[in-house]
Amino acid sequence: MKIVDIKVEVIFLVFALVFGSVFAVINPPFMTPDEQWHFIKAYDISQGHIISKNSNISIPNSFNNIIKLPVWDKSIENYLRDKDYSIFNNPFNIDDTQELKFYPANSYMPLPYLGVAFVIKIGGGLFNCSPLFLLYFGRFVNLLIYIVLVYFGIKVVPIGKYMFLLLALMPMSLYLSSSVSADSLNLALSFFTICLFLNLAFKDDKIHKKDIFFLSICILSLALSKQLYVLLALLFFIIPKSGFKNLKTRLIYFISTILPSGLILILLSHSFNNSISNITNSATLSSSSLFSNLVDFFYSIYDSIIVFFDGYLAEFVGYFGCMNIPLPQKLILIYICVIILVSVLSFRNKTKLILKQKLVCLLIFLGGSILIFKVAFDWSAQEFGLIFGVHGRYFIPLAPLLFLCLGSEKITFFNEKLFKYLNLFILLFIFLILSTSTYYLSIL
């Protein structure tokens, strides 16, 4: 088989397995954003606490020894800098615990942690493995789930395969997916859900109940992962009317798609509000302030984008360590340009998005982005009219929707002979980018 004929999903599979495994191994413990809190959340779930009742938690001393709380003292970095990992070899020892007064992950949704929680339950509870082993094994479990979901997403999506490939193998995407962070599953679910909607949008026959069942499972999974991205359910409206028997069927199918996730969100929101009322009360006050002056809010978004744009872009493509080692800016810009180029060329066949479908994608992207800023506005401090706490990685799950809007069948300067070798170009480009990223990870 010629390299130019290799299927896109196979390219993803090979690169994700190889470089994802390398990232998981060479990335020092807890260097992925908030990884220590995600690890503790997974431990909490492994003890049967699907919904945390309060902000305190009893953790094994072996956990506390490797995290060395409070984290803002950065004492963990002293061990990493000296390359002394002996502290990580303490046994799990479930009977030797101490109370952790506060951990911010207690309000996180449970689904992204089930894989790592299973590892902790079996490896720690039955075999008394060290927290270090559990951490790295958990990383590989998350990576495997990411690879499986994205592989099948790229396999079934009828358009934009190369665009999804570049986003899924983007250094930041692979960095997050090879960690115990909740972002790993959220990224995979978001990509897979978008691919599934696109598959149904270009389906030749009518939409069936089994299609709606899979859609509702995807949306429900997003609701149990990160609620904000449930907004992807609105991609239902890129499915043409001709895909349904009649308007009544279309309405019933839409309600069936969103109803399970809606009910779960209401129930879990009530439970979480009861468990962390002291935090949500302050958020409610923030929300009241926000909606009393929408103009100021949107000005804050505008100012924040202007001031932090370079940072958002770096954190979107590749930003490693404790958010202190970005890829070179030129490399980041090149990667964005390649994604744009590939997106523009993504409609070189009869399968294409019409204007109405592009508009739906764009509105969902903009709506999701505004919600990201709103959440940060509610939970973070604001100074000088700027919104802090927004990171470029938050936009990765929504990014395909923006790039899908760029495709155009009118581009003719890129002839078919050159287009045939796009596979080879992207393969070499990704290899160079991920190899460079491996170097930057190795110097942590």
**End-to-end CA, the chain:** 39
Render pLDDT for 182-224 as a digit per residue (tens, 0 to 9): 999 999 999 999 999 999 999 988 999 999 999 999 999 999 9
All residue ranges of the chain with pLDDT < 50 are 69-77, 79, 83, 273-287, 290
The closest of 137, 122, 106 to 34, measured between CA atoms, is 106
CA distance 40 to 22: 24
pLDDT, residue 181, reads 93
pTM of the model: 0.89
pLDDT, residue 340, reads 93
- By CB atoms closer than 10 A (0-12, 13-18, 19+), residue 337 is exposed
The structural domain count of the chain equals 1
Alpha helix (H) ranges present in 72-182? 75-81, 114-119, 131-156, 161-168, 171-177
**Three-state secondary-structure class, residue 106:** helix
Distances, alpha carbon 239 to alpha carbons 158, 242, 308, in Å: 13, 8, 36
* The two structure tokens encoding residue 144: 């495997």
Question: What is the residue range of 276's domain?
Answer: 3-442
CB 241 within 8 A of CB 250: yes
CA distance 196 to 154: 9
The closest of 111, 162, 145 to 17, measured between CA atoms, is 145
CB 261 within 8 A of CB 219: yes
